[in-house]
């Protein structure tokens, strides 16, 4: 049996999808890609906005229309937060929430055996424990995501997540470290600690996030640790100093901002300590040593033009590397749903476009400041099992840079955009090895850097899968070795 997974939303959802993939794989199912035929289609939904709910229903309708004989599953935050509405989504053969994920496999097997439609949404309960969902590997990611906490005790005026996720529940340090060792043994070099309320980790178990990060950094084989979204007001001075001292922790923080306007934040029932950014920069030794990303809502009820301008100016002052901008989504069951001063959709969309244009300018300025610097990156390009089907006996373990000529004109990237300071091992090794990449001519999104590096085998004519043309590079028949590559 073949199963197809589709994930919406946050890094926690990615982790939970990875755990479900493991469960189905152990039961004999084959995990297939997004464009492949399957017997089971599962969507792990997100309900932060109305758009997420609509996207989930649209995906289910499409799968049911194209594969009427397949089993379709709707799980995640959407059915948990709005169970009655989700239960009416008849395109889903199984509707279940965020509780008891292990039962999804059994219910799917019942449906495959001919069982009638199942709606199994369990409400969150006071005192419920963290559900262990270990992950051994991820199908489509070179970095691993570890879920360390679930739930949120905050009551932000606009947010439906406490309803979808329940109260704070922390995973034990022993369980986290055990999974981290497993992932390191599987070859993962980078891990993301993800949670619904990351800084809340340990509030119910007597520990804290900073201590956990320090222990994770001691795991051999893990070279990088990243953090999910953090509420700035929960970063204490002590936590900032201790986190900055962890060398394996990537100096990049996603601050859960939501607005840069003090008055708007007050209406949102949130606070934001504006000096957190300066404290983090000081702890790391300068503005160019640490980067920040964030989320920002446009058109929250009663947001004036002056409030919106203040929010844009704050993004500019901080210099965020990336900002996820989205219009306020009115969610039933939240306090903000009944707030006065609701802003029309057209105005919210207009403000979102204005802010997006502003943050792109900010991003370009931040990237320009990185020009000429050298960083370590993890190559994420998929690799072939061997250099070329035409040369099965090739044992080459080194790939070298093609001649410094542009790729085919139809290609979205060319060697004029990116250069490498050294050759890298075979692609099977390169995926999980840090390599220094010289960023001396970056003119666009830094994330494109990974997709811009093109390599050619020095022995066979085969090129990396992303190469637009096999005729572009040349085989270096008399290759002298990696030290001779300029």
Residues 375/449, Cβ–Cβ less than 8 Å = no
- For residue 287, the model assigns a pLDDT of 87
For residues 4 and 43, what is the distance between their CA atoms, to the nearest angstrom? 9
**104, 75 contact by CB (below 8 A):** yes
The reported pLDDT for the residue numbered 134 is 75
The DSSP string of 312-326 is HHHHHHHT-SEEEEE
pLDDT attached to residue 139: 58
Q: Which domains does the chain have, with CATH numbers?
A: 2-120 (3.40.50.12160), 144-368 (3.80.30.20), 373-486 (no CATH)
Prediction pTM value:
0.74
The predicted structure's pLDDT at residue 50:
87
User: What does each C-alpha distance from 457 to 23, 383, 438, 468, 474 come to in angstroms?
Assistant: 38, 12, 21, 15, 9
Report which secondary-structure segment, H or E, holds 309.
helix 305-318
Task: Collect all residues with Cβ–Cβ distance below 8 Å to 22 and sequence separation of at least 6.
Answer: 134, 135, 136, 137
Predicted pLDDT of residue 103: 93
Helix (H) or strand (E) holding 31: strand 30-32
Indicate the pairing of strand 2-7 with strand 30-32.
parallel
Question: Can you give the pLDDT of all 486 residues of the chain as single tens digits?
Answer: 999 999 998 889 988 998 999 999 999 999 998 888 999 999 999 999 888 999 999 999 999 999 999 999 999 999 999 999 999 999 999 999 998 888 999 999 999 999 999 999 998 888 888 988 877 766 556 788 899 999 999 999 999 999 999 999 999 999 999 999 999 998 888 999 999 999 999 999 999 999 999 999 999 999 999 999 998 888 899 999 999 999 999 999 999 999 999 999 999 999 777 789 999 999 999 888 999 999 999 999 999 999 999 999 999 999 999 999 999 999 988 999 999 999 999 999 999 999 999 999 999 999 998 888 887 777 665 444 444 444 444 444 333 333 333 333 322 222 222 223 333 333 333 333 333 333 333 333 333 233 333 334 444 444 433 333 333 333 333 333 334 333
What is the predicted pLDDT for the residue at 135? 76
Structure tokens at 384: 């072939």
Q: Using the 8-state DSSP alphabet, how is residue 463 labeled?
A: B
C-alpha pair distances (Å), 311 with each of 160, 213, 262, 296: 23, 32, 8, 9
């Amino acid at each position: 049996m073949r199963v197809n997974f589709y994930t919406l939303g946050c890094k926690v959802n990615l982790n939970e999808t990875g755990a479900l993939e493991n469960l189905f794989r152990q039961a004999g199912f084959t995990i297939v890609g997004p464009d492949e035929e399957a017997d089971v289609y599962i969507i792990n939904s997100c309900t932060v906005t109305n758009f997420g709910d609509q996207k989930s229903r649209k995906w289910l309708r499409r799968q049911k229309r194209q594969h009427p004989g397949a089993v379709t599953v709707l799980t995640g935050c959407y059915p948990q937060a709005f169970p009655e509405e989700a239960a009416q989504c008849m395109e889903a053969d199984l509707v279940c929430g965020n509780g008891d994920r292990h039962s999804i496999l059994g219910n799917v097997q019942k449906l495959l055996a001919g069982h009638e439609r199942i709606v199994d949404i369990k409400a969150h309960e006071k005192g419920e424990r963290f559900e262990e969902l270990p992950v051994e590997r991820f199908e489509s990611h070179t970095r691993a995501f570890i879920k360390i906490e679930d739930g949120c005790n905050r009551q932000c005026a606009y947010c439906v997540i406490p309803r979808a996720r329940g109260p704070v529940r922390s995973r034990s340090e022993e369980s986290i470290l055990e999974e981290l060792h497993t992932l390191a043994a599987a070859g993962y070099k980078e891990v993301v600690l993800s949670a619904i309320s990351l800084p809340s980790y340990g509030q119910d178990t007597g520990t804290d996030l900073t201590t956990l990060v320090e222990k994770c950094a001691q795991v051999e084989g893990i070279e990088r640790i990243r953090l999910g979204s953090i509420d700035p007001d929960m970063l204490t001075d002590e936590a900032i100093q201790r986190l900055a001292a962890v060398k394996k922790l990537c100096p990049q923080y996603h601050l859960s901002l939501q607005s840069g306007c003090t008055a708007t934040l007050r209406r949102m029932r949130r606070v934001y300590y504006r000096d957190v950014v300066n404290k983090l920069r000081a702890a790391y030794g300068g503005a160019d040593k640490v980067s920040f990303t964030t989320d920002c809502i446009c058109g929250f009820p009663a947001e004036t033009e002056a409030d919106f301008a203040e929010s844009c100016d704050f993004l500019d002052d901080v210099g965020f590397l990336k900002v996820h901008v989205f219009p306020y989504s009115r969610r039933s069951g939240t306090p903000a749903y009944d707030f006065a001063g609701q802003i029309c959709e057209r105005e919210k969309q207009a403000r979102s476009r204005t802010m997006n244009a502003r943050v792109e300018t900010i991003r370009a300025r931040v990237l320009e400041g990185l020009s000429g610097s050298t960083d370590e990156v993890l190559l994420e390009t998929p690799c072939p099992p061997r250099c070329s089907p035409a040369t099965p006996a090739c044992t080459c373990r080194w790939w070298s840079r093609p001649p410094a000529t542009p790729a085919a004109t139809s290609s979205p990237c060319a060697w004029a955009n990116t250069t490498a300071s050294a050759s890298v091992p075979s692609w099977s090794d390169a995926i999980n090895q840090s390599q220094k990449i010289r960023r001396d001519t970056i003119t666009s999104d830094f994330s494109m850097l990974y997709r811009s590096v093109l390599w050619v085998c020095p022995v066979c004519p085969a090129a990396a899968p992303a190469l637009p043309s096999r005729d572009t590079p040349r085989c270096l028949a008399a290759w002298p070795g990696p030290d001779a590559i300029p």
